[in-house]
């Protein structure tokens, strides 16, 4: 048996990415005397989606220069998400996000200024440009200084509920990914900030490019699976994100479209983005009039071109890199946040000043912070949340004392890095209040901890026992490796739940069959084998991915319309249906059973 280490604290933060760092900083501000512990499966200094750096901060209002108001931001996010967002949560981020960005600047993040206006240089209406290669270490330093202890390289596998009080959080368990120690964290409040999910759907990069995705490959859906297993209510899990990216390297397009004003055209040199508006209006209604044109509809237009065989679609970089400054901006965009794209340019002899680059739509990701809003159903802020959306503490999930932020929280898109940090701050402020209101330490069920310890290390045991049956290679009669499991998951999701391989299209029959196959995979997960602690981490990442995928399929089955064309299509319900589906689809997983239901969408900002 491995060593068991016990850690008691007031507030436990799971995940030290953007939201986790925000939570750490703010928890210390309000809870000077509290014991605040952060647990991170990688190393906080370079962990999470921002590990590689970013070249823009995509959520900044600029209220000190009267550039935008929170109401404007709500309208933008609502329009982009085809009408369905939690406006209270979006508004709450908008009114606080600027202060977060000002903190980043104070801590040393180089933000680019517009020499003419003296304001931050805008990439687009909501985005500002940064020199952001070191964004994450700068933010992590503030978090590290704030918390009582950081446990790096410890992966949380399960949350713990109070032994006596139903529906109250008590802590979490996990293991050291380097040393295999088993950790039992007991906490009065827990904030989950464990990032979104990639490698649920088969990526376009397979074989030689395996592992490459736009969103971070190490974001494995823990944020969703931990919560789902604990019984928290989830929302919008069907709202997967598909992004248009530079082909193969997955380079983002924002700086090119918005700052450099580059144009995308089909292989025949035609601009296509608005070509289908009237067809789109007939299917999806007046959402086509939203400004800017919604992300999913831009995808939809591109997909129509691809289906008609008018691709490759090209981003015309060569038309806009006409000054040294613009050329530098173009290269830095990728060198700061997606080095792989500059490597594609170098390796394929593409000089962006001379040749356009191909664009392609990505595989779907599950996230709560980009142009999408999957995640936990959370209480909103007291002053603006409608009464159905408020139950005592901002960003508290439906489990008492369990909070979330960033990709974890559903219903509020377009947070990006700055909004995720801001939401971490909001959650932490509320969590401190919760701890002060509920100072008693929860009780842990020791029998459950014992059971979980055995379960967590089972893959090591499976390998030890089953390895002797292998004659050669990696195929065993009694176990599967995590990598084999993830490939099986990706194939199921791609072919049945609307991945790129099926042109993002699914229907009830495909979903039923996909679910059947997914449940078989789920059944096999107790046969996962790990040769070492690294593979043990992969095994638990797969567990979390599979549960996240199940939520995606079940939510997709429930919503009988096509709400976000370009993200996915229900071929059996090809229209957007506001009469019946202007609602959130929510779920709860209790005692192995799923309950799926709807919740109302309230509009609090005038259209």
**Nearest CA to 169 among 331, 346, 13?**
13
For residues 279 to 318, the per-residue mask of contacts with ligand SFD, x marking binding by CB under 6 A and - elsewhere, is ----------------------------------------
DSSP state for residue 7 in the 8-state scheme: E
Does residue 248 contact residue 344 with C-beta atoms inside 8 Å?
A: yes
Instruction: Find the part of the chain contacting ligand SFD (CB under 6 A) among 80-88, 346-354, 416-424, 450-458.
Output: 416-424
Q: Tell me the sheet residues that pair with 241.
A: 365
Instruction: Candidates 258, 431, 511, 515: give the one binding ligand AMP (CB under 6 A).
Output: 258
Note if 417 is an active site residue. yes
**Counting contacts by CB under 6 A, is residue 260 touching ligand SFD?**
no
* Per-residue tokens: 370: 């980009």
Instruction: Candidates 11, 24, 48, 191: give the one binding ligand SFD (CB under 6 A).
Output: 48
DSSP state for residue 273 in the 8-state scheme: T
Instruction: Candidates 79, 252, 404, 410: give the one binding ligand AMP (CB under 6 A).
Output: 252
**Residue 444 near which of ligand SFD, ligand AMP, none (CB within 5-8 Å, type-dependent):** none
Note if 123 is an active site residue. yes
Active-site option among 98, 123, 336, 423: 123
**Counting contacts by CB under 6 A, is residue 112 touching ligand SFD?**
no
Pairing of strands 402-404, 182-192: parallel
Note if 370 is an active site residue. yes
**Residue 14 near which of ligand AMP, ligand SFD, none (CB within 5-8 Å, type-dependent):** ligand SFD
CB burial readout 506-524, b (16+ within 10 A) else e: bbeebbeebbebbeebbee
* Per-residue tokens: 339: 């080095």
Note if 345 is an active site residue. no
- How many C-beta neighbours within 10 Å does residue 398 have? 19
Q: For residue 409, what are the CA distances in angstroms to 8, 191, 395, 561?
A: 25, 11, 8, 23
Smallest gap, in angstroms, from Cβ of residue 136 to ligand SFD? 8
Instruction: Candidates 10, 20, 236, 444: give the one binding ligand SFD (CB under 6 A).
Output: 20
Instruction: Candidates 185, 257, 287, 479: give the one binding ligand AMP (CB under 6 A).
Output: 257
**Counting contacts by CB under 6 A, is residue 432 touching ligand SFD?**
no
**Counting contacts by CB under 6 A, is residue 150 touching ligand SFD?**
no
Angle at 337 between CA 545 and CA 79, to 5 degrees: 70
* Residue 182 Cα to chain centre, angstroms: 27
**Nearest CA to 210 among 17, 484, 407?**
484
**Counting contacts by CB under 6 A, is residue 155 touching ligand SFD?**
yes
* Residue 113 Cα to chain centre, angstroms: 29
* Residue 440 Cα to chain centre, angstroms: 33
Q: First vs last Cα of the chain: how many Å apart?
A: 60
**Residue 480 near which of ligand AMP, ligand SFD, none (CB within 5-8 Å, type-dependent):** none
Site size for ligand AMP (CB under 6 A): 13
Beta strands in 56-148 (DSSP E): 56-57, 128-129
Smallest gap, in angstroms, from Cβ of residue 395 to ligand SFD? 12
Active-site option among 47, 55, 58, 379: 58
Instruction: Candidates 21, 184, 371, 480: give the one binding ligand AMP (CB under 6 A).
Output: 371
**Residue 156 near which of ligand SFD, ligand AMP, none (CB within 5-8 Å, type-dependent):** ligand SFD
Smallest gap, in angstroms, from Cβ of residue 146 to ligand AMP? 28
Instruction: Candidates 62, 209, 292, 466: give the one binding ligand AMP (CB under 6 A).
Output: 292
What is the torsion angle, in degrees rounded to the nearest 10, for the CA atoms of residue 441, residue 433, residue 45 and residue 412? Answer: 120
Query: Which string of DSSP letters, residue by residue, matches 339-372?
Result: HHHHHHHHHTT--TTTS-EEEEEPPPBB-SSSS-
Note if 214 is an active site residue. yes
Q: Is 152 helix (H, G, I), strand (E, B) or coil?
A: strand
Instruction: Find the part of the chain contacting ligand AMP (CB under 6 A) among 24-32, 122-130, 186-194, 386-394.
Output: 122-130
**Counting contacts by CB under 6 A, is residue 147 touching ligand SFD?**
no
Does residue 340 contact residue 212 with C-beta atoms inside 8 Å?
A: yes
Residues in region 23-42 near ligand SFD by CB under 6 A: 39-42
Active-site option among 40, 87, 333, 561: 333
Does residue 16 contact residue 153 with C-beta atoms inside 8 Å?
A: no
Instruction: Candidates 127, 317, 357, 412: give the one binding ligand AMP (CB under 6 A).
Output: 127
Instruction: Find the part of the chain contacting ligand AMP (CB under 6 A) among 153-161, 249-257, 301-309, 379-387.
Output: 249-257
Beta strands in 521-601 (DSSP E): 569-570, 583-590, 593-600
Give the residue with the Cβ less far from ligand AMP, 271 or 516: 271
Beta strands in 74-232 (DSSP E): 128-129, 149-152, 154-161, 169-176, 182-192
Can you tell me the distance from the alpha carbon of 224 to that of 551, in angstroms, rounded to the nearest whole number? 9
**Counting contacts by CB under 6 A, is residue 50 touching ligand SFD?**
yes
Note if 333 is an active site residue. yes
Active-site option among 202, 370, 395, 425: 370
Residues in region 21-60 near ligand AMP by CB under 6 A: 58
Instruction: Candidates 100, 146, 205, 222: give the one binding ligand SFD (CB under 6 A).
Output: 222
**Residue 54 near which of ligand SFD, ligand AMP, none (CB within 5-8 Å, type-dependent):** ligand SFD
**Residue 292 near which of ligand AMP, ligand SFD, none (CB within 5-8 Å, type-dependent):** ligand AMP
Place of tokens 């605040």: 36
Note if 462 is an active site residue. no
CB burial readout 152-179, b (16+ within 10 A) else e: bbbbbbbbbbbeeeeebbbbbbbbbbee
DSSP state for residue 259 in the 8-state scheme: I
Can you tell me the distance from the alpha carbon of 120 to that of 385, in angstroms, rounded to the nearest whole number? 31
Q: For residue 518, what are the CA distances in angstroms to 88, 225, 234, 538, 554?
A: 35, 15, 19, 18, 11
**Counting contacts by CB under 6 A, is residue 285 touching ligand AMP?**
no
**Residue 417 near which of ligand AMP, ligand SFD, none (CB within 5-8 Å, type-dependent):** ligand SFD
Active-site option among 47, 146, 417, 586: 417
Give the residue with the Cβ less far from ligand SFD, 97 or 444: 97
**Residue 19 near which of ligand AMP, ligand SFD, none (CB within 5-8 Å, type-dependent):** ligand SFD
**Nearest CA to 376 among 174, 92, 169, 584?**
584
Catalogue the active-site residues.
Answer: 58, 123, 214, 245, 333, 370, 417
Give the footprint of ligand AMP on this chain (CB under 6 A): 58, 124, 126-127, 243, 252-254, 257-258, 292, 295, 371
Give the footprint of ligand SFD on this chain (CB under 6 A): 14-20, 39-42, 47-50, 54-58, 155-156, 193-195, 214-216, 218-219, 222, 252, 254, 337-338, 369-370, 406-407, 416-418, 420
């Amino acid at each position: 048996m491995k060593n068991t280490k016990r850690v008691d604290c007031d507030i436990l933060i799971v995940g030290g990415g953007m939201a986790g760092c925000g939570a750490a900083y703010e928890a210390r501000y309000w809870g000077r005397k509290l014991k605040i512990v952060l647990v991170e499966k990688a190393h906080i200094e370079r962990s999470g989606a921002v590990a590689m750096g970013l070249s823009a901060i995509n959520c900044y209002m600029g209220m000190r220069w009267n550039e935008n108001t929170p109401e404007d931001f709500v309208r933008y996010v609502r329009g982009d998400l085809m009408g369905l967002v939690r406006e209270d949560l979006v508004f709450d981020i908008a009114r606080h996000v600027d202060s977060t960005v000002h903190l980043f600047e104070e801590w040393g993040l180089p933000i680019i200024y517009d020499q003419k206006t003296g304001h931050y240089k805008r990439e687009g209406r909501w985005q500002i440009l940064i020199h952001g290669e070191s964004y994450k270490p700068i933010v992590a330093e503030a978090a590290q200084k704030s918390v009582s202890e950081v446990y790096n390289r410890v992966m949380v596998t399960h949350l713990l509920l109070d032994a006596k009080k139903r529906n109250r959080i008590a802590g979490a368990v996990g293991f050291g990914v380097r040393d295999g120690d088993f950790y039992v964290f007991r906490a009065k409040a827990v904030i989950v900030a464990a990032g979104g999910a990639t490698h649920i759907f088969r990526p376009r990069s397979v074989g030689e490019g395996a592992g490459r995705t736009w969103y971070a490959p190490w974001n494995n859906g823990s944020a969703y699976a931990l919560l789902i297993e604990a019984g928290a209510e989830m929302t919008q899990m069907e709202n997967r994100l598909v992004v248009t990216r530079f082909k193969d390297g997955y380079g983002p397009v924002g700086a090119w479209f918005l700052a450099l004003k580059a144009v995308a055209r089909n292989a025949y040199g035609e601009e296509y983005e608005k070509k289908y508006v009237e067809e789109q209006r007939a299917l999806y209604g007046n959402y086509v009039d939203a400004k800017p044109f919604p992300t999913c509809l831009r995808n939809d237009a591109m997909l129509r071109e691809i289906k008609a065989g008018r691709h490759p679609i090209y981003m015309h970089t060569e038309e806009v890199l006409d000054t040294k400054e613009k050329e530098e901006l173009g290269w830095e965009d990728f060198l700061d946040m997606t080095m792989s794209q500059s490597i594609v340019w170098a390796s394929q002899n593409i000089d962006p000043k001379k040749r356009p680059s191909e664009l392609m739509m990505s595989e779907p990701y599950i996230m709560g912070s980009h142009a999408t809003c999957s995640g936990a159903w959370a209480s909103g802020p007291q002053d603006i949340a409608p009464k159905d959306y408020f139950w005592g503490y901002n960003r508290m999930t439906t489990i008492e004392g369990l909070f979330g932020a960033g990709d974890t929280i559903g219903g509020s898109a377009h947070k990006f890095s700055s909004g995720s940090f801001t939401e971490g701050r909001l959650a932490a402020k509320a969590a401190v209040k919760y701890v002060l209101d509920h100072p008693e330490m929860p009780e842990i069920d020791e029998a459950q901890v014992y059971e979980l310890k055995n379960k967590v290390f089972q893959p090591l045991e499976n390998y030890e026992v089953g390895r002797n049956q292998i004659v050669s290679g990696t195929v065993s009669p009694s176990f599967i490796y995590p990598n084999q499991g993830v490939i099986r998951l990706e194939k199921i999701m791609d072919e049945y739940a609307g991945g790129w391989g099926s042109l993002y299209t699914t229907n009830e029959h495909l979903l039923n069959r996909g679910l059947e196959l997914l449940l078989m995979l789920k059944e096999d997960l107790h046969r996962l084998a790990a040769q070492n602690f690294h593979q043990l981490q992969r095994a638990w990442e797969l567990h979390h991915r599979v549960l996240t995928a199940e939520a995606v399929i079940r939510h997709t089955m429930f919503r009988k319309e096509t709400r976000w064309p370009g993200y996915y299509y229900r071929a059996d319900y090809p229209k957007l249906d506001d009469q019946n589906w202007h609602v959130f689809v929510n779920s709860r997983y209790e005692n192995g059973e799923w309950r799926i239901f709807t919740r109302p969408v309230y509009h609090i900002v005038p259209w």
